[in-house]
Amino acid sequence: MPARKLAPEELCRRCDPAGFGFSTTADLEPLDPPVGQERAAEAIRFGISIRRDGFNVFAIGPPGVGKQGLVARIVRERAAREKPADDWCYLFRFADRQRPAAVRLPPGRAAPFRTEMERLVEELRAAIPALFESEDYRVRLQALEKQLEERREATMREVQERARERDVALVRTPMGFALAPVRNGEVIEPDAFHKLPEEEQRRIQGHLAELQERLQSALRCLPQLEREHRERVREMNREVALLAVGHLIEEVKKRYGDLPPVLAHLEAVQQDVVENVHEFFGAAEAEDAAGQIRKLFAETPAMHRYGVNVLVDHGGEQGAPVVSEDLPSHANLVGRVEYHSHFGTLVTDFSMVRAGALHRANGGYLLLDARRLLSQPFAWEDLKRALRGREVRIESPERLLGIGGAASLEPQPVPLEVKVILLGERWIHQLLLAADPEVRELFKVTADFEDEVPRAGGELAYARMVAALCRDEGLRPLDRAAVARLVEEGARISGDGEKLSARLQAVADLLREADHVAAQAARPVMIAADIQAAVDGEVRRASRVQRKLQEEIERGTLLIDTAGARTGQVNGLAVYQAGAVAFGHPTRITARVRLGRGEVVDIEREVDLGGPIHSKGVLILAGYLGARYAEDRPFTLSASLVFEQSYGEVEGDSASSAELFALLSALASLPMRQAIAVTGSVNQLGQVQAIGGVNEKVEGFFDVCRARGFTGEQGVIIPASNVKHLMLRADVVDAARAGQFHVWAVETVDEGMELLTGVPAGERGEDGRFPEGTVNGRVAGRLADLAGKARAYGVAAKDAGAP
Amino acid sequence: MSGLETGPIRRVLLALDAAGPGPATLDAAAGLAFRLDAELAAVLVEEADLLRATALPSSRHLALPGGERLDLDAVGAGVRASADRARSLLEAAAARRQVRWSFQAMRERAVRELLETGGAEELLVVERPRDRLAGMGGLTGLLGAATAGTRPVLVLGPAMRPGGARPGGRVSVVWDESESAAAALDLALRICRGVAEGPSLLVAAAHLAEAERLAGAAAPRAGRWLSWRWAGGSTPGDLLRSLPLDAVLVVGAGSPAAGGASGRARLLREARGPVLLVRRPDAPAPLPG
What are A633-654's pLDDT values in tens digits?
Answer: 788 888 888 889 888 887 888 8
| pLDDT score at B149 | 66
Kindly list the residues from chain B whose CB atom is less than 8 angstroms away from the CB atom of residue A208.
58-60
Catalytic residue among A351, A646, A654, A657, which?
Answer: A654
* Alpha-carbon Rg for chain B in angstroms: 19
Kindly list the residues from chain A whose CB atom is less than 8 angstroms away from the CB atom of residue B74.
175
* pLDDT higher at A51 or A387: A387
Are A642 and A658 contacting, i.e. CB atoms less than 8 angstroms apart?
Answer: no
Which of B54, B59, B245 to probe the A interface (max A CBs under 10 A)? B59
| pLDDT score at A407 | 63
Sign of CA dihedral B234, B239, B240, B241: positive
What residue of B is the nearest CA neighbor of A154? B133
Kindly report the nearest CA distance between residue A219 and chain B, in angstroms.
5
What residue of A is the nearest CA neighbor of B169? A284
Complete DSSP assignment for A92-125: --TT-TTSPEEEEE-TT-HHHHHHHHHHHHHHHH
CA A701 to CA A573: how far, in whole Å? 8
% residues pLDDT > 90 (chain A)? 55
What residue of A is the nearest CA neighbor of B81? A174
Which of A152, A171, A216, A229 to probe the B interface (max B CBs under 10 A)? A171
CA-based nearest residue to B143, from B42, B268, B256, B43: B268
- Residue A46: what are its φ and ψ, rounded to 5°? -65, -50
Indicate the residue of A152, A153, A189 with minimum beta-carbon distance to B52: A189
Is pLDDT of B139 > 70? no
Are A668 and A688 contacting, i.e. CB atoms less than 8 angstroms apart?
Answer: no
What residue of B is the nearest CA neighbor of A286? B168
Q: Where does residue B207 fall: left (phi above 0), alpha (psi -120 to 50 degrees), or beta otherwise?
A: beta
| pLDDT score at A799 | 65
Cβ within 8 Å of residue B278, ≥6 positions away: B6, B152, B180, B183, B184, B187, B250, B251, B252, B253
Kindly list the residues from chain A whose CB atom is less than 8 angstroms away from the CB atom of residue B67.
176, 215-220
**Which 8-state DSSP code applies to residue B103?**
E
Q: Residue range A112-123: average pLDDT? A: 93
Most confident of A3-7, A799-803, B31-35, B248-252: A3-7
What residue of B is the nearest CA neighbor of A150? B132
Kindly list the residues from chain B whose CB atom is less than 8 angstroms away from the CB atom of residue A153.
132-133
CA A687 to chain centre: 44
DSSP SS3 for B16: strand
Kindly report the nearest CA distance between residue B78 and chain A, in angstroms.
7
Contact between A156 and B133 using a beta-carbon 8 Å cutoff:
yes
Most confident of A19-23, A353-357, B13-17, B43-47: A353-357
Kindly report the nearest CA distance between residue A251 and chain B, in angstroms.
26
Contact between B136 and A209 using a beta-carbon 8 Å cutoff:
no
CA B249 to CA B264: how far, in whole Å? 12
| pLDDT score at A523 | 95
Q: What amino acid occupies position B93?
A: A
Contact between B49 and A171 using a beta-carbon 8 Å cutoff:
yes
CA-based nearest residue to B24, from B248, B240, B253: B248
Kindly report the nearest CA distance between residue A266 and chain B, in angstroms.
24
Contact between B162 and A277 using a beta-carbon 8 Å cutoff:
yes
Is pLDDT of A598 > 50? yes
What residue of A is the nearest CA neighbor of B239? A135
Indicate the residue of B20, B49, B270 with minimum beta-carbon distance to A169: B49
Give residue-wise pLDDT tens across range A685-740.
Answer: 999 999 999 999 999 999 999 999 999 999 999 999 999 999 999 999 999 999 99
- Confidence category of residue B288, pLDDT binned at 50, 70, 90: very low
CA A728 to CA A711: how far, in whole Å? 20
Sign of CA dihedral A105, A108, A110, A113: negative
CA A259 to CA A761: how far, in whole Å? 90
CA A159 to CA A592: how far, in whole Å? 127
Are B67 and A195 contacting, i.e. CB atoms less than 8 angstroms apart?
Answer: no
Q: Residue range B117-123: average pLDDT? A: 75
Half-sphere exposure of A613 (CA within 13 A, CB side): 10
Catalytic residue among A67, A419, A499, A697, which?
Answer: A697
Helix (H), strand (E) at residue B101: strand B101-107
CA A162 to CA A170: how far, in whole Å? 10
Q: What is the dihedral of CA A150, A152, A155, A156, to 10 degrees?
A: -110
| pLDDT score at A802 | 54
Which of A157, A172, A222 to probe the B interface (max B CBs under 10 A)? A172
Is pLDDT of A483 > 60? yes
Helix (H), strand (E) at residue A753: helix A749-757
What residue of B is the nearest CA neighbor of A218? B67
Kindly list the residues from chain B whose CB atom is less than 8 angstroms away from the CB atom of residue A133.
163, 244-245
Instruction: Identify the burial level of A643 via C-beta atoms within 10 angstroms of its C-beta, where 0-12 means exposed, 13-18 middle and 19 or more buried.
Output: buried
Contact between B163 and A204 using a beta-carbon 8 Å cutoff:
no
Indicate the residue of B58, B65, B169 with minimum beta-carbon distance to A208: B58
Check if A697 is active-site. Answer: yes
Beta bridge partners of A187: A182
* pLDDT higher at A672 or A1: A672
Cβ within 8 Å of residue A11, ≥6 positions away: A726, A728, A732, A733, A736, A743
Kindly report the nearest CA distance between residue A134 and chain B, in angstroms.
9
Kindly report the nearest CA distance between residue B118 and chain A, in angstroms.
27
DSSP SS3 for A803: coil
Contact between B67 and A218 using a beta-carbon 8 Å cutoff:
yes
- Residue A310: what are its φ and ψ, rounded to 5°? -75, 110
CA A771 to CA A337: how far, in whole Å? 85
Q: What amino acid occupies position A331?
A: A
Kindly list the residues from chain A whose CB atom is less than 8 angstroms away from the CB atom of residue B47.
171
% residues pLDDT > 70 (chain A)? 95
Cβ within 8 Å of residue B15, ≥6 positions away: B42, B43, B45, B111, B115, B124, B125, B126, B127, B139, B142, B146
Kindly list the residues from chain A whose CB atom is less than 8 angstroms away from the CB atom of residue B272.
138
* pLDDT higher at A535 or A613: A535
Find the length of chain B.
Answer: 289
Mean pLDDT score across all residues of chain A: 89
CA-based nearest residue to A232, from A150, A156, A151, A148: A148
- Confidence category of residue B132, pLDDT binned at 50, 70, 90: very low
Q: Among A41-45, A56-60, A600-604, B60-64, which is the least confidently predicted range?
A: A600-604
Q: Residue range A493-506: average pLDDT? A: 89
| pLDDT score at A74 | 95
Contact between A174 and B78 using a beta-carbon 8 Å cutoff:
yes
- Confidence category of residue A275, pLDDT binned at 50, 70, 90: confident
CA A732 to CA A720: how far, in whole Å? 18
Cβ within 8 Å of residue A224, ≥6 positions away: none
Cα B173–Cα B176–Cα B179 angle in degrees, nearest 5: 90
| pLDDT score at B158 | 54
| pLDDT score at A605 | 75
Cβ within 8 Å of residue B21, ≥6 positions away: B14, B42, B86, B89, B90, B127
Give residue-wise pLDDT tens across range B256-266.
Answer: 988 888 888 88
Q: Residue range B92-97: average pLDDT? A: 90
Kindly report the nearest CA distance between residue B52 and chain A, in angstroms.
6
Q: Residue range B222-236: average pLDDT? A: 88
Which of B27, B44, B46, B56 to probe the A interface (max A CBs under 10 A)? B56
* pLDDT higher at B99 or B141: B99
Contact between B161 and A281 using a beta-carbon 8 Å cutoff:
yes
CA A651 to CA A692: how far, in whole Å? 12
CA A468 to CA B65: how far, in whole Å? 88
Alpha-carbon separation of residue A453 from A1, A20, A296, A727, B166 (angstroms): 33, 19, 66, 16, 83
Kindly list the residues from chain A whose CB atom is less than 8 angstroms away from the CB atom of residue B22.
none
Strand B69-70 with B60-63, pairing? antiparallel
Kindly report the nearest CA distance between residue A136 and chain B, in angstroms.
10
Helix (H), strand (E) at residue A677: strand A676-678
Mean pLDDT score across all residues of chain B: 78
What residue of B is the nearest CA neighbor of A216? B67
CA A528 to CA A656: how far, in whole Å? 39
What residue of B is the nearest CA neighbor of A221? B66
Is pLDDT of A294 > 50? no
Kindly list the residues from chain B whose CB atom is less than 8 angstroms away from the CB atom of residue A188.
52, 56
CA-based nearest residue to B151, from B5, B18, B6: B6
| pLDDT score at A296 | 44
Are A109 and A186 contacting, i.e. CB atoms less than 8 angstroms apart?
Answer: no
Which of A160, A173, A203 to probe the B interface (max B CBs under 10 A)? A173
Contact between B162 and A278 using a beta-carbon 8 Å cutoff:
yes
| pLDDT score at B224 | 84
Is pLDDT of A150 > 60? yes
- Residue A182: what are its φ and ψ, rounded to 5°? -120, 140
CA A409 to CA A424: how far, in whole Å? 35
- Residue B74: what are its φ and ψ, rounded to 5°? -65, -40
| pLDDT score at A90 | 96
- Provide the 10 A C-beta neighbour count for residue A228: 14
Kindly report the nearest CA distance between residue A80 and chain B, in angstroms.
55
Kindly list the residues from chain B whose CB atom is less than 8 angstroms away from the CB atom of residue A160.
136
DSSP SS3 for B280: coil
Q: Among A238-252, A349-363, B72-86, B129-143, which is the least confidently predicted range?
A: B129-143
Are A641 and A601 contacting, i.e. CB atoms less than 8 angstroms apart?
Answer: yes
CA-based nearest residue to B79, from B42, B39, B51: B51
Are B123 and B155 contacting, i.e. CB atoms less than 8 angstroms apart?
Answer: no
Q: What amino acid occupies position A790?
A: A
| pLDDT score at A51 | 87
| pLDDT score at B161 | 33
| pLDDT score at A698 | 96
* pLDDT higher at A472 or B1: A472
Contact between A201 and B137 using a beta-carbon 8 Å cutoff:
no
Instruction: Identify the burial level of A674 via C-beta atoms within 10 angstroms of its C-beta, where 0-12 means exposed, 13-18 middle and 19 or more buried.
Output: buried
Contact between B67 and A135 using a beta-carbon 8 Å cutoff:
no
- Residue A355: what are its φ and ψ, rounded to 5°? -75, 150
Is pLDDT of B164 > 90? no
Indicate the residue of A142, A173, A215 with minimum beta-carbon distance to B78: A173
Q: Please, what is the angle between helix B140-148 and helix B260-270, to 10°?
A: 130
DSSP SS3 for A57: strand
Which of B97, B98, B127, B133 to probe the A interface (max A CBs under 10 A)? B133
**Which 8-state DSSP code applies to residue A478?**
B
Are A182 and A164 contacting, i.e. CB atoms less than 8 angstroms apart?
Answer: no
Check if A375 is active-site. Answer: no
CA-based nearest residue to A744, from A708, A705, A713: A713
